[in-house]
Amino acid sequence: MRQATGRHQREQAAALIRVLLREAPVDPFVLRLLVQALLPGLIAVAGKLRWGQGGDWEDGSDFFGELLSTTWLVLAEWAGQDRPYAVLDLLSAIRCRLRRRLFRAKEFRQSSSPLTDDALATRTVRPETDLEELSRLLIDLRRDGMRAEEVQVLYAHHVLGFSIAELATVTGRNRRALYARRDRGQRRLCA
């Protein structure tokens, strides 16, 4: 695949990715091969997302680790599917999930009040990231009686970056039920 320079060779490489994705459930090693084959595309995705600048990641390597884990999750979800444009579909799905996480982090920062210089000077511990704070809050709400389904949907949607459509596919539940659980959880979260 590395030598695929002409159009015909690129099409053959893309066809190989399509076959590997379709046959991934047969052997878990195939998923590892797919991650390795997608690596040049993942680096391009990281560049387009400016290596996670403005997100909840400490640096580019932290972001790239998240990129690889997201890639693994998408590949595991899509294993067995026959997609004509597998390479482009995979890279697009991975980019969109991480981009949603970036947007959520930026929205959260804009909606919360900034700390003053005095408040920053008095802090001695590392401040929680937005995702750590949300995760801790969800754990506390679960202890206080929030339904487990609501916590799971909020965590998967807001922390892990899954869309409701993706959650419906993964869990086998209908979207309306997932939206209802998300909305109940958000109301309880804001109460």
Q: Which residue has the tokens 């949300």?
A: 134
Per-residue pLDDT for 118 more than 70?
no
Q: What is the pLDDT of residues 53-75, one digit of tens each?
A: 888 888 888 899 999 999 999 99
Q: Are 87 and 162 in contact (CB under 8 A)?
A: no
Q: What is the pLDDT of residues 60-114, one digit of tens each?
A: 888 999 999 999 999 999 999 998 889 999 999 999 898 888 887 777 666 654 5
86 with 140, same domain?
A: no
Q: Are 35 and 44 in contact (CB under 8 A)?
A: no
- Do the domain assignments include residue 62? yes
- Do the domain assignments include residue 20? yes
- Do the domain assignments include residue 2? no
Question: How far is CA 77 from each of CA 34, 88, 177, rounded to the nearest angstrom?
Answer: 13, 16, 21
pTM exceeds cut of 0.85? no
Residue 82 gets which letter from DSSP?
-
95 with 147, same domain?
A: no
103 with 160, same domain?
A: no
CATH code of residue 131:
1.10.10.10
| Residue ending a domain, choose from 92, 111, 130 | 111
96 with 130, same domain?
A: no
100 with 180, same domain?
A: no
54 with 92, same domain?
A: yes
First to last CA, the chain: 54
Burial label, 180 (beta-carbon count in 10 A; 0-12, 13-18, 19+): middle
78 with 15, same domain?
A: yes
- Do the domain assignments include residue 1? no
In sequence order, the 6+-apart residues with CB closer than 8 A to the CB of 82 are 18, 21, 22
The Cα 114–Cα 111 span in angstroms is: 9
35 with 93, same domain?
A: yes
Give the structural domain span for 180. Answer: 117-190
12 with 63, same domain?
A: yes
| Residue ending a domain, choose from 111, 127, 149 | 111
| Residue ending a domain, choose from 82, 111, 140 | 111
